[in-house]
Amino acid sequence: MTPSDIPTRYEPTEAEPQILERWLESGLHHPEPKGTAAENYSIAIPPPNVTGALHMGHALNGSVQDVLVRYHRALGKRTKWILGTDHAGIATQKQVEKLLESEGTTREEVGREEFVRRVWKWREQYGSTIIEQFQRLGATCDYSEERFTLDDGYAKAVAEVFVRLYEKGLIYRDNYMVNWDPGSRSAISDLEVEEKEVVDTLYSIRYPLASGNGNITVATVRPETMLGDSAIAVHPDDERYARLVGESVVLPLVGRRLKIIADHYVKPEFGTGALKITPAHDPNDFEIGRAHGLDELTVIGEDGRMTAAAGEEFAGLTALEAREAVVAALREQDLIEATEPYPHVVPHSHRSRERIEPLISLQWFMRMDELAGPAADAVRDGRVRFAPGRWGRVYLDWMDNIRPWCVSRQLWWGHQLPVWYRGEETYVGIDAPEGDGWTREDDVLDTWFSSALWPFATLGWPEETAALPAFYPTDVLSTARDIIFLWVARMIMMGLEFTGEVPFSEVYVHSVIQARDGRRMSKSLGTGIDPLEEIDRHGADAVRFGLLAMSSTQDVRYSDEKVHQGQDLANKLWNASRFVLMQASEKEVRADPTPRAVEDRWILSRLERTKALTASRIESFDFHHAALGLYDFVYGELCDWYLEWVKGRDDALPVLLHVLRETLGLAHPIIPFVTEAIWQNVPGADGLLAEATWPEAQPGRVDEAAEKAMADAIAAVQAVRAWRESVGVRTGARVPVRFDADGYGELAGAVARLGRLDLGEGGAEPVATVAVPGGAVLVLPTDAFDPNAAARRVEEVRKRLQGEVARAEGKLGNSGFVDKAPAAVVEGEREKLERLKGELAAL
């Protein structure tokens, strides 16, 4: 196709699929496992859930990582973007349960083995969805080596880690209070619990003293748990109860005698200052119970129903039913002293949204303190750096207060614990133990346990693969802040423990993209914006540019304007290229971009600065400015000025082509599709832009003098245009002028052309004056405008200038300023004053 056949609009929907195909076929995303991790560049993608569909968070993070990956690939590094998906225990299990439900059956009915088979089948069918969606974004992950956290090799790594930690004594089994999620019927970790405010009823209940001399009143929002009470606690210094400590009360409805104990945990000022202790159903009571050796009576089971221990009358009821029954029974005996509405925060399951039922359960735990120390040190001493830095402090706060991690889950989908039991015996090992009678632990591991191994398990650990030394440690981990504890911290701990090295040296915590109105983007709220629809509408480049331009060091609202800016930029580049290529015609120009004019030196200088700036911004994760800086260069310098400036010149082509090629190169990491599409039409551009090198820095091309000269010339054009507008010069009319300003040289001609002026030398008396840097443009007699309007305009300008002069003089007349401000600042002010006076005089 000849350049003039190139359509005037860039059509992403037509271009993108073809370009994507070429990239995928080229193999550019797959590096050979050679060299060392120090020479190479690698990023491990936060593995999306297999059940997932691309959301804005993925799209932003994918854009961020792809910019980094493409940039480093262009720098000539062997670059690997480790790709894969997470088996996502609960989420995936639920998905398939739903499917079974639609078939009229249940997980229990089909049985574990069949269920797991069904999940695998589901994964085969739908698991690649999100991978394809990443491709549409243009992400150059290593698609040829897709990992899955439940693959055989990966599972081996998980088992290996579990066994080693067990042998080290860091993993153990215990009967302990856990967060029971009735929704998923599994224990969950502290991190998967979220506090939500609810309004409960606070019941004040009288417990009669065993002595018969009165009562102690306690308050609770969960009266049903009283069936499991083991004691009453008061503060040791609470005089009201001092003489009662050691005595007993009679537990209403049950009749059990409860000791009155003293414990510092109790807040005397809260309620009556007496606290009922239910060790099996409240985390605090659990602690107190263990400290005092109290009985742990489980009255609510894992099914959410009252156990036999709750007594005949209540056993089998749901906890809620039991509450009503207990309250009714207490009322009957007139033991309820008061009730009041009580708003407070209570734990809910992050997954199922259901209220957590704290209970004592036999689970597997991991002690974290021993691993946390070195992992915290790695951040303290800078081996791992967070960007923005404040997240490092957040990480450290958590690490310094770390608690044991409940790692077992009562699910079917996941890594089954490598643990076998026979009677009282427990065996932990990679393979099943010898001998008969062993049964394997049913539970599976918390999904985050396997995710914690991601950076090295994906590379084949514990096998000594070639990929491991080539790409581990990785360079950057890019993620959202909500998984800093769940994932990032644990990767650092596990990485250090099992490889002796930090898994990545930088953690970039990107923005959270909110809905347009500032609410959270969420499916249930209907506030989500589908990145794929946005790509359909505006193109992948526009979405990438938009997201990067939006991103910040804080949360941001989704901005349609930024996406539009990206779309506009793509189109602008497309048309600028058209302009250049139409001149290039068949001629293949590879010649050095020899500058033949000031504007050539200027654009080469500006290009040089943009290259350096873009590189440093990418390296410092300042994607916002990298994207917008690129936009400014392309619009504000290349198109608005340079292209206009050289129109009519026939010797600018080498520079034009050079600037176009390099601009495509530096824009490519941000807007890869359109730049690749243009590249295919550029004479002398071989192969894929995605495989081309980053435009080499040419510091010698920075030209201060040319920048200054052009800045003045541009300012002059703008001054002339503004003047024309303000005095109402007839549209398009050429205005005769005498150029009375220094320092323009050859640029005066272009200023005149762009300002639609006719340069003359005649000695006629000027009828108007337009101040420009270095002097003025004197307007000669003409009928193109009304001189009165010009006079008014001059007055306005004079007033403004006089004001500025007064301000500058005031500043310089202030001895405080002159004496204390740095000499350069004072000098700058003096120069400014001179300039202003000059402009004023020129009027």
Partner RNA sequence: GGGCGGUUAGCUCAGCUGGUCAGAGCGCCUGCCUUACAAGCAGGAGGUCCCCGGUUCGAGCCCGGGACCGCCCACCA
Considering only residues 778-807, where is the footprint of RNA by CB under 7 A?
none
Helices (H), 452-529: 454-457, 467-471, 490-499
Q: Among residues 413 and 485, whose Cβ is nearest to RNA?
A: 485
Helix, strand, coil % over all residues of the chain, rounded to 5 = 45, 20, 35
Are 727 and 793 within 8 A, CB to CB?
yes
Cβ 835 to RNA shortest distance, Å: 6
CA of 785: how far to CAs of 487, 586, 733, in Å? Answer: 70, 46, 9
Among 87, 118, 624, 701, which residue sits at the site for RNA (rule: CB under 7 A)?
Answer: 624
Cβ 346 to RNA shortest distance, Å: 7
Q: Among residues 161 and 542, whose Cβ is nearest to RNA?
A: 542
Among 704, 731, 788, 813, which residue sits at the site for RNA (rule: CB under 7 A)?
Answer: 731
Site string for RNA, 454-493 (x = CB under 7 A): ---------------------------xx--x--------
Cβ 43 to RNA shortest distance, Å: 24
Polymer length in residues for the chain: 843
Of the candidates 75, 141, 59, 79, the one whose C-alpha atom is nearest the C-alpha of residue 616 is 75
- Could you count the other beta carbons within 10 Å of the beta carbon of residue 263? 17
Q: Among residues 640 and 746, whose Cβ is nearest to RNA?
A: 640
Cβ 251 to RNA shortest distance, Å: 15
Residue type, 778: L
Residue 593 pairs in a beta bridge with none
Considering only residues 46-105, where is the footprint of RNA by CB under 7 A?
none
Are 364 and 172 within 8 A, CB to CB?
yes
Considering only residues 366-395, where is the footprint of RNA by CB under 7 A?
390, 393-394
Cβ 411 to RNA shortest distance, Å: 22
Rounded to an integer, what distance in angstroms lies between the CA atom of residue 52 and that of residue 531?
13
Considering only residues 237-276, where is the footprint of RNA by CB under 7 A?
265-268, 270-271, 273, 275-276
Among 284, 339, 410, 465, which residue sits at the site for RNA (rule: CB under 7 A)?
Answer: 284
Give the H/E segment covering residue 509: strand 504-509
Site string for RNA, 688-717 (x = CB under 7 A): -----------------------------x
Rounded to an integer, what distance in angstroms lies between the CA atom of residue 426 and that of residue 423?
8
**Class of residue 820 by CB neighbours under 10 A (exposed 0-12, middle 13-18, buried 19+):** exposed
732 binds RNA, rule: CB under 7 A: yes
Q: Among residues 19 and 218, whose Cβ is nearest to RNA?
A: 218
Considering only residues 396-415, where is the footprint of RNA by CB under 7 A?
397-398, 401
Among 112, 344, 380, 792, which residue sits at the site for RNA (rule: CB under 7 A)?
Answer: 344
3-state secondary structure of 151: coil
Are 576 and 634 within 8 A, CB to CB?
yes
Q: Among residues 346 and 748, whose Cβ is nearest to RNA?
A: 346
Q: Among residues 28 and 716, whose Cβ is nearest to RNA?
A: 716
Give the binding range for RNA (CB under 7 A) out of 99-107, 163-171, 577-585, 693-701: 577-585
Q: Residues touching RNA: how many (CB under 7 A)? A: 85
Q: What is the DSSP letter of 637?
A: I
Among 119, 141, 191, 626, which residue sits at the site for RNA (rule: CB under 7 A)?
Answer: 191
Among 43, 68, 116, 219, which residue sits at the site for RNA (rule: CB under 7 A)?
Answer: 219
Among 410, 527, 559, 782, which residue sits at the site for RNA (rule: CB under 7 A)?
Answer: 559
Token reading at 125 = 């069918």
Among 242, 291, 320, 722, which residue sits at the site for RNA (rule: CB under 7 A)?
Answer: 722
Are 513 and 57 within 8 A, CB to CB?
yes
Q: Among residues 698 and 726, whose Cβ is nearest to RNA?
A: 726
SS (H, E, C) 70-128: HHHHHCCCCEEEEEEEECCHHHHHHHHHHHHHHCCCCHHHHCHHHHHHHHHHHHHHHCC
Cβ 189 to RNA shortest distance, Å: 10
527 binds RNA, rule: CB under 7 A: no
Considering only residues 131-190, where is the footprint of RNA by CB under 7 A?
190
Among 377, 589, 817, 838, which residue sits at the site for RNA (rule: CB under 7 A)?
Answer: 817
9 binds RNA, rule: CB under 7 A: yes
CA of 150: how far to CAs of 443, 467, 639, in Å? Answer: 15, 19, 52
Q: Among residues 582 and 791, whose Cβ is nearest to RNA?
A: 582
Q: What is the DSSP letter of 780?
A: P
Tokens 């001609």, residue located:
749
Rounded to an integer, what distance in angstroms lies between the CA atom of residue 271 and that of residue 170?
41
Q: Among residues 15 and 159, whose Cβ is nearest to RNA?
A: 15
Q: Among residues 116 and 808, whose Cβ is nearest to RNA?
A: 808
Of the candidates 545, 553, 548, 592, the one whose C-alpha atom is nearest the C-alpha of residue 569 is 545
Q: Among residues 102 and 731, whose Cβ is nearest to RNA?
A: 731
Q: Among residues 398 and 421, whose Cβ is nearest to RNA?
A: 398
Residue 234, φ and ψ in degrees, nearest 5: -135, 165
Cβ 556 to RNA shortest distance, Å: 5
Q: Among residues 430 and 841, whose Cβ is nearest to RNA?
A: 841
Are 755 and 804 within 8 A, CB to CB?
no
Considering only residues 305-324, where is the footprint of RNA by CB under 7 A?
none
- Could you count the other beta carbons within 10 Å of the beta carbon of residue 67? 23
Paired sense of beta strands 336-349 and 248-250, if any: unpaired
Considering only residues 220-239, where is the footprint of RNA by CB under 7 A?
220-222
The torsion of the CA quartet 645, 647, 650, 652, rounded to 10 degrees, works out to: 40
Residue 650, φ and ψ in degrees, nearest 5: -110, 5
Write the CB contacts of 733 (distance below 8 Å, at least 6 apart in sequence): 756, 782, 784, 785
Q: Among residues 126 and 579, whose Cβ is nearest to RNA?
A: 579
Considering only residues 533-552, where is the footprint of RNA by CB under 7 A?
550, 552
Q: Among residues 396 and 444, whose Cβ is nearest to RNA?
A: 396
Q: Among residues 557 and 609, whose Cβ is nearest to RNA?
A: 557
CB-facing half-sphere around the CA of 4: CA atoms within 13 A: 3
Give the binding range for RNA (CB under 7 A) out of 113-121, 213-221, 313-321, 734-742: 213-221
Give the binding range for RNA (CB under 7 A) out of 26-34, 450-458, 634-642, 743-751: 634-642
564 binds RNA, rule: CB under 7 A: yes
Residue 13 pairs in a beta bridge with none
Cβ 37 to RNA shortest distance, Å: 31
Among 215, 575, 681, 782, which residue sits at the site for RNA (rule: CB under 7 A)?
Answer: 575
Cβ 573 to RNA shortest distance, Å: 8
Give the H/E segment covering residue 825: helix 823-842
Give the binding range for RNA (CB under 7 A) out of 244-252, 414-422, 611-619, 825-833: 825-833
Q: Among residues 77 and 807, whose Cβ is nearest to RNA?
A: 807
Rounded to an integer, what distance in angstroms lies between the CA atom of residue 591 and that of residue 579?
19
Among 718, 758, 791, 792, which residue sits at the site for RNA (rule: CB under 7 A)?
Answer: 718
Cβ 721 to RNA shortest distance, Å: 4
Q: Among residues 341 and 423, whose Cβ is nearest to RNA?
A: 341
Q: What is the DSSP letter of 642?
A: I
Residue 386 pairs in a beta bridge with 507
Are 231 and 292 within 8 A, CB to CB?
yes
Site string for RNA, 650-689 (x = CB under 7 A): ----------------------------------------
Of the candidates 814, 162, 117, the one whose C-alpha atom is nearest the C-alpha of residue 494 is 162
Q: What is the DSSP letter of 489?
A: I
